[in-house]
Chains A and B, each alone.
Chain A
C-alpha cells in the first residue's frame, strides 16, 4: 500500500522550496479535503459555505475553521487529508511513535509544527505530520537528508497526545526546573539563600543582643522603624490611589476601535485554563470561552488538567467541546502548583499571545481583542497586559462585599497607578495576557512561587519588559467562605513574602534593573504589606493596652517626631485607608458597597490572621499550594444551571 508522499527531486537543492509546494498543493489542499468530506457526507454544503466565508473573514485556513466550528470531526478531516495526498492515515495512539528515532532537541518542533518522526519501515523513515508543505520537507531534509524519508498523516491531537507521553518526564522536568536552571537566583525553589540566612541570623542576633544591652533604646528604634514603614506605606498607597483614580490612568480601548478590527489581521491566541478537581464548573468555563469575541479558528484553548484528576478530564471529554479546545494532562510531580501546570502547557502553545483564565472566570467578550490592540499600540517592550478582575457575586455576604471592595481598589486604582508611575506591576492571578515569545524569554512562571503572577511582574520588569493594564474586566467568584478565604489569602501573602525574599537576594542588582522608583515601589507594594499585616496585631495590642488599662505608659516608646507620625498613622492614616477602600466602589458604581466599606478594619484583622498562617507556612511548607475551592457561590450555581440548560 502506498503510505507516503515520495520525494523525488533531482535538481539543485537551493530551489527546493518551489518543488514541494507545487506537489503539496498549498491552500488547494483544504478545498480538496472539503470536497472529499462532502462526498463522504461528513460535511454539509451549508457548513462548508459558512466555513469558507468565515475563513475569508478571519484569515484562517479552512481546516482550522471547519474544526473549530465543529463542522467536522478532526479525525475525519485528517483522514481525508491523508486520502487527498494518497498516503496512509496513522492513529498514533494505536500505532505509537518509535521513541528511538526521535530527538529531544526537536521537542519544540514536534509541538509547534505538528511534525514527528514516526517509524522506520522497510528501512525508510516515516514522518508523521498534519499536512505536507515545503517547510516540512525542509525540516525533514535538514535532519534525515533528502530522499531518506516519507510522510504519513495523523491528527494534531494525536501528535500532542503521543509526544506528551513520549516526553512526559522531560516536559515535566522542564516545567519545574527551567527557570531554576536558567536563573536560580530568580527561583523560589529555595526560599532563602545561604547569604540571606546568614544575614537574617546576624540581624536576629544583633537585635537580641541590643535588647539585652539597651532594651528601651532598642524598643524605641524598632518603633521608629515600624512607624516610618507604616507612614511610607500609607503615603505610597495614597499616591497610587489618587493617581489611579484619574481617568487618564486608564488605558481606554473604545468599542469603536474594537469594531474596526479586521479579524483577518488577528493572530492565534492561546488560552490556558489550569484546573484541578473543578469538573462541576466546566460548563461555565465552556460558555464563557465560547462567548469570547475572537475568531474561533484562531483560538487555542488548553484545559490544563492534572493527570490524576480523572473526574475533570472525563467531564471535559463529555462536554464534547469544539476542536479549538485541547486537554493537556500534567504528569504528577512536586510542586503541584498552578504555575507548574501552566509551564507544562506552555510548551505546546502556538499563539502569538497567551492568557490565563480560571475555571469560573467570565471575561468580557472583547477582552482578547482589547489585549491585541493594546499590544499593537504599546511599545515593543510591552510584554503583558493585565485585565481587571472583579466579582460577579459581590452582594452574597459581608466577606464577598469586602473582597469586591478590595479587588476594585487593587485593579481599578492601584494597578493603573503603578502602570502610570511606570514601576513593576505584580500581576493578578488570571486575565494577564502575554506575548508568548517574551514570556518564554523570561522563563515563564516560577513553579515554586505560590504567587507566581506577582513574581512574574517583577521579573518582567527586571528583564526590561513593561506591563500595562487594560480596561476589560474578568468577573470571578469572590471567596465568601471564611476558612477558604483564609487559605487563599494566606497563600497570596506567603507568595508576596517569597517574592520579596527572592528578589532581595541581590538588592543592588534589583535596584539597577528596575530603578529607584521601581525599587521603592517593590518594597512598599510587595514587601511592606505582609510585614505590616504581621505587625498590626502587636501595635493594636499596645494601643488597646494604653487605652483600656490607663496604667501602662508607652509615651517613651514614641519620641518626636515619631509620636506625631504614630498618631497620624493610627488616626488619620488608618481612616484614610478606609476612605480609599470606600471610594474604590465608585469607579464601578457599586454604591451599595460604600457604607459597608466603613467595616474595612474588621477585614484587616482577617488579613493579619492569614498573614500569620502564611508566615508559618513560609517557614515550614513554603511551596504548598492552598487550593481555592470554586463554585461555592449561589450565583455560580445559578449560572451553572443556566449553562447546563442551554447545553441541554
Chain B
C-alpha cells in the first residue's frame, strides 16, 4: 500500500454544481416577465398602488421598516407617479422573479420533480397575498425576506453548527431590525436560541455569553450604523425612533384567537412542518427548531399585530408564514408523500386566499387585476370575510 491509497477523510470534493442551471434561468426570467406583466396590467387598469399612494400622501415614512423606507426614498426621487408605480412594480417583480428562480433551483436539488416544483411556483404565484404584495403594496417584502433567510440560517446552525452558521445567523438577525419595529423583539429569543444551540453554550456560562454576544453584535452594529446615518442625514433621531415608541406604547389585548385562526386558514401549509416533526423515516436528519420557527415567527406576528400599535395589514402574518415555509422547502429534503402534502396545503391556501378575502379585500385592486377577464371568472367566490 502506498500513501496514495490511504483513507483521507475530507477534503471531501463536493460535486461541482453550476450555480445557475439553464432551467433556473428560464424559470427566473419567465417568472419575472409574467409578474411584471401582471403588475403592469394592474397599473394600466387604473389602480394606484397603495405604497405609491402613501408616497403621494407623505405618510410612507416613519414606519420603522428601514429597508422599505430606503427603497421608497429612492423611488420618491422619481418625478412622476406613473414612474414611481413602475419602479415599485419592477422592483417587486424582479425580487419575486429572482426568488422564484432560486426556489425552483433549490426544490430540484432537494428531490422535487420539475412538474411538482413548477406546480408549487404556480400555486404560490396565484396566491392572492402574493399578487397583492407584488402589485398593490410591496412594503412588507423586506419582512418576508427576513423570515425567508432566517429559516435556512437557523437550519444551518442545527445541521452544520460551524462558525459560519453562527456568523450567518448573526449577520441576518439585523434583517429583523430593518424589517419592522414589530419584528425587532424576535432578535432576542433567536439569539438566545443560537447561543444554546452550541453544546458548550448549555454547559458553560462563559460560552453562552460569548455565543450570545456573537449573535447579537451585528444587530447592535447595524443599529449604531443607522444612528450614524441619521445623524449624517440631519434626521432627528427621536423622530426616527417614533415608530418604535409608538408600536410599544399601547399594548392591548386584541383578537388574538381570531388573528391566529386567520393565520391557519390563510396559510394551512403550517401543518407541513408540524407533520415533518413527527414523520417517521425522513430522508434526512430531522431539524425541528427550524421547522418550528416557520410557525413560531409568523405566530408571533399574528399576535403582535393585534396587541401592539401597528399599521401592519392582516395579510402580512400569513404571507410571512408562506415566505418562511417556501424558504424551508428550498432546503429540506422531504419524502414524496410530504411533498404532495405540501403542494396540497399550498393549493388549499390559494383557494382560501381567493374565497375568504377579508384580509386583503381591496375592491379597486381586484377590479384592476381582473379587468379584461371574463366576468364569470371575476365573480368566482370573491367575497370578503373569513
Contact = CB atoms under 8 A, between A and B. Distances in A.
B8 A257 contact: yes
B225 A252 contact: no
A247 B162 contact: yes
A589 B7 CA distance: 28
Contacts of A572: 221-222, 224-225, 228
B210 A247 contact: no
Interface stretch (A27-35, A356-364, A372-380, A619-627): A372-380
Interface string B1-35: 11110111111001000000000000000000000
Contacts of B164: 242, 245-247
Interface string A564-588: 1001101110011001001101110
A252 to B, nearest CB: 4
B227 to A, nearest CB: 8
A266 interface: yes
B3 A261 contact: yes
A411 B311 CA distance: 49
Interface stretch (A106-114, A446-454, A591-599): A591-599
B232 interface: yes
Contacts of B218: 576, 579
Nearest to B213: A594
A586 B210 contact: yes
B160 A589 contact: no
B167 A242 contact: yes
B163 A586 contact: yes
B217 A571 contact: no
B351 interface: no
Contacts of A570: 228
B252 interface: no
Nearest to A592: B206
A245 B163 CA distance: 5
Contacts of B167: 241-242, 245, 583
Contacts of B14: 248
Nearest to B14: A248
B163 A261 contact: no
A329 B248 CA distance: 76
A573 to B, nearest CB: 9
Given A257-B6, A260-B7, A586-B214, A591 B207 contact: yes
A8 interface: no
Nearest to A555: B232
B197 to A, nearest CB: 12
Contacts of B225: 568, 571-572, 575
Contact of A575 (B2, B4, B7, B224): B224
A582 B163 CA distance: 12
B229 interface: yes
Contact of B8 (A242, A377, A589, A594): A377
Interface in A372-409: 372-373, 376-377
B266 to A, nearest CB: 36
A382 to B, nearest CB: 12
Contacts of A22: none
A587 B161 CA distance: 11
A576 B225 CA distance: 11
Contacts of B207: 589, 591
Given A242-B167, A251-B11, A568-B225, A265 B2 contact: yes
Nearest to B222: A572
B134 interface: no
B162 A594 contact: no
Interface string B209-220: 111011001100
A594 B214 contact: yes
Interface string B232-274: 1000000000000000000000000000000000000000000
Contact of A253 (B9, B170, B229): B9
A252 B10 contact: yes
Nearest to B2: A265
A322 interface: no
Interface in A218-267: 241-242, 245-248, 250-254, 256-257, 260-262, 265-266
A571 B206 CA distance: 27
Contacts of A583: 163, 166-167, 214
A260 B6 contact: yes
A429 interface: no
B208 to A, nearest CB: 9
Q: How large, as a class, is the contact surface on chain A?
A: 35 or more
A335 interface: no
A96 interface: no
A563 interface: yes
A429 to B, nearest CB: 25
B375 interface: no
Nearest to A572: B225
A641 B170 CA distance: 45
Contacts of B160: 247
A582 B213 contact: yes
A524 B2 CA distance: 41
A111 B218 CA distance: 58
A259 to B, nearest CB: 10
B221 A591 contact: no
A567 B226 CA distance: 10
A583 B14 CA distance: 26
B200 interface: yes
Interface in B134-181: 160, 162-164, 166-168, 170
A373 B9 contact: no
B167 to A, nearest CB: 5
Given A576-B221, A591-B200, A261 B213 contact: no
B284 interface: no
Interface in A591-613: 591-592, 594-595
A591 B224 contact: no
Contacts of A372: 3
B204 interface: yes
B228 A265 contact: no
B235 to A, nearest CB: 13
A60 to B, nearest CB: 15
A262 B1 contact: yes
Contacts of B224: 571-572, 575
B205 to A, nearest CB: 9
B3 A373 contact: yes
Contacts of A248: 14
A268 to B, nearest CB: 14
B229 A586 contact: no
A243 B168 CA distance: 11
A571 B218 CA distance: 12
A293 to B, nearest CB: 15
Nearest to A376: B3
Contacts of A377: 8, 11
B6 A261 contact: yes
Contacts of A586: 163, 166, 210-211, 214
A570 B227 CA distance: 13
B7 A585 contact: no
Nearest to B6: A260
B9 A265 contact: no
Given A586-B166, A594-B213, 5 more contacts: A241-B167, A242-B164, A242-B167, A242-B168, A594-B214
Interface of B: 1-4, 6-11, 14, 160, 162-164, 166-168, 170, 200, 204, 206-207, 209-211, 213-214, 217-218, 221-222, 224-225, 228-229, 232
12 contacts: A245-B162, A376-B6, A572-B221, A579-B214, A579-B218, A579-B221, A582-B214, A583-B167, A586-B211, A586-B214, A589-B200, A594-B209
* Closest 3 A/B residue pairs (Cβ): A254-B9, A594-B210, A247-B162
